[in-house]
Structure 1
Amino acid sequence: MRHRPVLSRRRYRPARLWLALLGSFLMVLGLTSTAAYGRTAAPGEADAAAEQVLTWTAGDPIDHYLSAPKTAVAGKATIVFENSAATGNTTGMPHTLTFSVSDPEFNNDVTLNILANPGDDQGGKHTAEVTLTPGRYFYHCTMPGHEAMQGILTVTDGGGGEDTTAPGTSAKVDGDKNADGAYIGQATVTVSATDDGSGVDTVEYAVGADGAWQPYTAPVVVDEVGPHTIRYRATDKAGNAAAEKSVDFAVAAPPTDDKTPPETSATVSGEKDDQGRYLGMATVTVTASDTGSGVNTIEYAVGADGAWQPYTAPVMVHETGTHTVRY
């Protein structure tokens, strides 16, 4: 039979006195002894704790943000964008932090377009309150010449649990085709990957059946005449790997007797007011097609006298007023 030890009164009373003195001391300091053991959050505290602060910084470079978050959790968030002397801006150059709402590949439920420079009324540091949903947000700088300042913010649902589902992947081939279905001059392969759990970590592609895998960072342009295979795959942040997929196509040599110019068009997108004016920003997308020798170059110019420059992505105009984009 086991016996519980009995504390003598001589040993027990000092221990109880010590605990009482310790409790009094903690109260004097403004502390509570429950902090040492944990407690249940009061109503509303969990929501407040779930809110997050996401910070972007910029400085003199026009090809990248100095810092930017890569991941976030769905829910309320405070966006901080600072482009100031404190973050390394020595020239007073302005930058923007803009969330794209025109690309169907990314979330479009957050309208954010912050212009910051060291000389503005906020000293270059601005904040905005947003609500993020699971998926991916594409952000970039809309200042002319700053197009390389861009990135992707991946938002998870924050619901807990282990992600065991691999990313979903797809690929599409674009270009002008001849009557046989071959792409004239060149073909452009765009690979997409999505993951609603932990988020996409890597996307890779390989040219041909035996080509080496390499990071996918931009659409792959293939201009060699003949049949081609592009393989692609992706993994998420939980380590789940999507099965390898491939897309097959052929590239044909452009005809030498093509005397017909390409066909071109442009569309403008963005949120409008009741008078048809675009709010904050308008996005101009230019397209060109040519069933003869294929499209070689696309150019655009802003304004009646603006210089022609290569068109590589939709043109975003955020300056207030009336605008003309030539192409």
Structure 2
Amino acid sequence: MRILRGALVAGTAALCLLTGATTAAAFAEPVAAAVAPAADQVLTWTANDSMTEYASAPATAVAGTATIVFENSTATGNTSFMTHSLTFDTSTPGYNHDVDVNITASPLDSEGGRHEVQATLTPGTYRYYCTLPGHTMSGELVVTEGPGEEDTTPPEVTAQVDGQTDADGNYLGSATLTLTATDDSSGVDTVEYTLDDDNYRSYDGPVTITTPGAHNVHYRATDKAGNAAEPKTLVVNVVQNSDDTTAPTATATVDGEQNDEGHYVGSATVTLAATDTGSGVDAIEYTRDGGAYTAYSQPIVLTETGEHTLTYRARDKAGNTSEPQTLTVTVDPLGDGVAPYVTADLDGEVNTEGSYVGKATLTLAANDTDSGVASVEYDLDGAGYVRYGQPVTLTGVGTHMLHYRATDRAGNVSAVQMLSFTIAEAGDVTAPVVAVQLAGPQNWSWDYVGPVTVTLSATDESSAVSRIQYSVDGAVFQRYAEPFVIDHVGTHTIRYRATDEAGNTSATASVTFTVVASTGPSRQAPQPNPAFERMV
């Protein structure tokens, strides 16, 4: 196995969970690589701000040497300086495992986020994914034979039958069929067989035949180039082992560290065994937590916290099956050994260059599902770590580098994360001053006995007034253009505000007055009333 590693990076702006064994491609638009000589192959993956898909990725390649390029940079659309990885799966069944590629890239690393490694690809399918927590980026790369290496030879397939036989060659109680296929060129794709019918089924492992009688088996194999071997035929005779009518004895043992309550700490290993003095043990089966019976082949390791129930049984070669037995095992968690997960978020007005205007508000958050978060700390521009308690407003003009980390109650400290950002000068940050003036005839109670003229005005010493808005009696705000008249009897409230050219808006102010029907002479002629002239 070739081990090819990309450069480790010094920082990240956000964390990307190791995805599960999914085979669904998750990149945005797969780019089919052109079929070219293997030595000339350059396979390129790119990443941007997405945590769910690669920006681009090849879908196919040809077998042989290839240059694998992974670029995660501002040029590929990463504007958040987020770290991504490209890792080839070397454990999930059904995929090629002969290339070990693990590249981590960031726009802030020494290579600017672009890394290259060499790999030798073989026919088949490779699975790749991002290993960073929180990321679900994954996909498949299908590798075929290169030009001039066409595979036209079908695979070789053989069958082997095991079991206890009598003098006539009949199998006593049961027979186990094992199929094996080889292909020296493109490789074996499928192995199939039929058993007493014409329906071919996929061969996934040894097949045990227990029903007495003559059984017809047909089997074949197909390689990855599509070449199919001619079907072969085998007859398996199974007879009842009349001498053995006693079921085997099945036992279970559990190993692992136990606490005072008898629970297993961290994990428990269950070993099953069976004995049969007659025809011999044919198989041991078990179920786990109510699932289907599974053939037992090796010790069962339980690591999930909680109570587990195992039911097990054994079958001998004469077809006798023991009564199911049940075992209950409880697994308690180990001490907390996992560091907390910490994130950073900046909020504020951003200009066209991506800089925060005047100020930025920093919010840090951490999560720990075991012992809980003990503290979150940050270091701004190398000034030293400070304990984080609540959102912090940053106002210093210039480019800043933030380091942050979290510690849980068990003492586990997260890896230090980094975030770079810039604060630009804000310019005018002062809201305009707005005033209101009421004019109209009033009685001795200062109520208006006729139409009221409302005049609004505003001043701004910096960027100038952009607009004045007002609302009458709770209606929607509208733009003020000229004085307006209120002549409906009743109490009225005018709300008003102003905005300058820099976007600063004054606090909303209000004035309330009453218009009544005239019941006597006015206190004065219609003139502006100083009592209702307000300025904000």
TM-score tier, shorter chain, comes to: 0.3 to 0.5
Structure (1 or 2) with the greater strand fraction: 2
Larger Rg: 2
Larger fraction in helix? 1
Structure ranking higher on relative contact order (CA contacts 8 Å, 6+ apart) = 1
Q: TM-score, normalised by structure 2?
A: 0.27
TM-score normalised to structure 1 length: 0.40
